[in-house]
Chains A and B, each alone.
Chain A
Amino acid sequence: MTAPIAVEITGVEKRFGDHAVLHGIDLAIGENEFVSLLGPSGCGKTTLLRIVAGFEHATAGSVRIRGEDVTGLPPHRRPTNLVFQRGALFPHMSVAENIGYSLKLRGWPKARIAARVDELLHLVKLDGLGGRGPTQLSGGQIQRAALARALAPEPSVLLLDEPLSALDLKLRQHMQLELRAIQRALGATFIYVTHDQTEALVMSDRIAIMNAGRLVQVGTPREIYTRPASIFASDFIGETNLVTGSVAGVEEGVVTLVTPGGLRVRGSASVPLAAGSTATLSVRPEAVRLRKGDPADATPDEIGGTIAEVVYLGSRVRIEVAAPDGTLLWADLRDAETTGLERGMVVLLGWPADAAGVWPGSEGAEG
């Protein structure tokens, strides 16, 4: 990272009694960066965000913002602002009063507050709605107002706690792009908590995947999608085929796995694997190629199977193939590629070994 560091999280741990929620998190976030904390519910992402905001205190470790140690500071002394999951607008204040609240606390003159509020209303496309009460707003408008309110004091870092999760899909997709545009326009640092991988892919400069209180992988959306660092990461981001078996052999980085049913699959090893150990292969459906043909004609890279289901998804078609040992694999093809493919048909499918990753352990195991 070449940009100066906005937030530096070092060795942060959080324990509630005996229960550890975060184990030694290290994460540096650059100025003007949009970083998503992505993970399933209960993975500790919200706790981490609240530690940065100052609502929770780390059991160990430190948080620095623009070089200043804020670990012990209360929320109102930190240069961060938080957009809450459901907005948390003050119900007894108008939208404008909500947005101007932090400025009023800072003792700004009324006229200056009004000008700044108008500017922010315009930024979040709520022009003219400043006089409304929070109960007169739609879900999307509430989140826009909450965003404007959090941006008003010009925080060094804006923290967002699943602000779009309560909205319906269409609106959510729209707001994702808009949030991204606002972040770019302001050149601000955003830390965004979400459990929605699409959302993280769409908006982020970098994604930090969390699981069970640990950082699993940090990288750009492309890195994470194409080179997931673990079974968990590959399964959590995008869709994938997982095949678990024992390692039959490793040759020049290409691993061959044999499933209990005798199916042989190949992929590239991310870490050294011992022969005979259990490992899991992950291959994206769109990397799987498929052709008509007899299993006898199969190359070493191919598997014979029977088409179990053909699902039309609009822009693509998902073909589900049952291998002889019962393993089900998906292949995503373009519509034009699927002419003549029907249920029950015998086909050959395969993928380049470097399109599939192999990790030690079985599917459910921690990555």
Chain B
Amino acid sequence: MVSAVRPARDDAGSAGGSRAGRIVAALFVAVVLLYLFAPVVVTVLFSLTTSPRLSLPIEGLTLDWYREAFANPIFTIALTNSLLLAAITALVSVGLGVPFAFGLLRLRGRTRGTLVTASLLPAAVPALVLGIALAVFFSGIGVAQGLPNAAIGHILVALPFVILTLNARLETFDLSCLEAARDLGASPWQTFRDITFPLIRPSVLGAALLAAALSLDEFVVTWFNVGNQQTLPVLIWGLLRRGIDPTVNALATVVLLSLTGLVLGAALIARRRA
């Protein structure tokens, strides 16, 4: 879809100007998107086909795999645990991240930059290393593996991203609004209630959904710390290790839909704010 209004000038990029260039560019993007979404499409497709083994052409459609997956008693436990972890992760990482991002606003450029970079470090360390380090730590202080350990791991994974998004949003936050409120007679609490909170609510909600999504999808750190407990990814991993099981596709689709819902929700909230 090349817009006809735009004048055909050689304005940007090797593929920018000419019509042929735009077609090449569009093809490139299409191939990349196909590459990214092929696994997703395959998963959803095979969660709905009758044949338990994949084969082409597709023979028939069914919801049996979903029924079977949901009938698995472990599924309910895993789902509950996953939702619990997601909620805790969202709450705690936002609870830690919001004050942190506001504290950063009060700091000077250099200190601030260093702190932002430092807070992103956990995201730059392979989850495997985070997972084993936490496992060693908890075993060292004598805490048995379990859901609380996994929750700590999820917060550790989510917090850098929460700080990153909040920090980016707060850069446009006008601190003099808070001073104006104080100046007009608002106490610190009234300032928070009337000005700060309404202004940051969308960003905070977005960050919380992002944290929930990261938690829901977290496998590696969980696997090293959760012990015998179940979460959806841990359940899926177990099924995968056991061999072909078409209920996996159904479970995966459930996870996929919840993740997409959370992320789209976060995006919509961010958009409405702008």
**Would you call B168 an interface residue if the criterion is a C-beta within 8 Å of the partner chain's C-beta atoms?**
no
Taking a contact as CB atoms closer than 8 A, the residue among B174, B179, B186 that contacts A55 in the complex is B179
Whether A105 pairs with B186 at a CB distance below 8 angstroms is yes
Whether B184 pairs with A153 at a CB distance below 8 angstroms is yes
Tell me, rounded to whole Å, the shortest Cβ–Cβ distance linking B83 to chain A: 32
Taking a contact as CB atoms closer than 8 A, the residue among B174, B185, B199 that contacts A88 in the complex is B174
In the complex, which residues of chain A have a beta carbon less than 8 angstroms from the beta carbon of B194?
Answer: 90, 101
Residues of chain A at interface, number, CB under 8 A: 25
Task: Give bound CA distance, A88 to B184, whole Å.
Answer: 12
Residue of A nearest to B173 (CB): A91
A90-B183 contact, Cβ under 8 Å, with A84-B176, A101-B194? no
Whether B183 pairs with A75 at a CB distance below 8 angstroms is yes
Residues of chain B at interface, number, CB under 8 A: 17
Whether B195 pairs with A76 at a CB distance below 8 angstroms is no
In the complex, which residues of chain B have a beta carbon less than 8 angstroms from the beta carbon of A88?
Answer: 174, 176-177, 179-180
Whether A81 pairs with B183 at a CB distance below 8 angstroms is yes
In the complex, which residues of chain A have a beta carbon less than 8 angstroms from the beta carbon of B187?
Answer: 76
A82-B180 contact, Cβ under 8 Å, with A92-B199, A101-B194? yes
A90-B195 contact, Cβ under 8 Å, with A75-B179, A84-B176, A84-B179? yes
Taking a contact as CB atoms closer than 8 A, the residue among A54, A55, A74, A102 that contacts B184 in the complex is A102
A76-B174 contact, Cβ under 8 Å, with A91-B199, A92-B199? no
**Would you call B182 an interface residue if the criterion is a C-beta within 8 Å of the partner chain's C-beta atoms?**
yes
**Would you call B39 an interface residue if the criterion is a C-beta within 8 Å of the partner chain's C-beta atoms?**
no
**Would you call B198 an interface residue if the criterion is a C-beta within 8 Å of the partner chain's C-beta atoms?**
yes
In the complex, which residues of chain A have a beta carbon less than 8 angstroms from the beta carbon of B195?
Answer: 90
Whether A102 pairs with B182 at a CB distance below 8 angstroms is no
Q: Residue-by-residue, is A87-98 near B (CB-CB < 8 Å gives 1, otherwise 0)? A: 011111000000
**Would you call A106 an interface residue if the criterion is a C-beta within 8 Å of the partner chain's C-beta atoms?**
yes
**Would you call B270 an interface residue if the criterion is a C-beta within 8 Å of the partner chain's C-beta atoms?**
no
In the complex, which residues of chain B have a beta carbon less than 8 angstroms from the beta carbon of A75?
Answer: 179, 182-183
Sample (22) of A-B pairs whose CB atoms are under 8 Å apart: A53-B183, A54-B183, A76-B187, A81-B184, A82-B179, A82-B180, A85-B176, A88-B176, A88-B179, A90-B195, A90-B199, A91-B199, A92-B199, A101-B181, A101-B184, A101-B194, A105-B184, A105-B185, A149-B180, A150-B183, A153-B184, A153-B185
Seed contacts A90-B181, A101-B186; 7 additional CB < 8 Å A-B pairs: A53-B183, A75-B179, A76-B186, A90-B177, A91-B174, A92-B199, A149-B184
Q: Which residues of B contact A (CB under 8 A)?
A: 174, 176-177, 179-187, 190, 194-195, 198-199
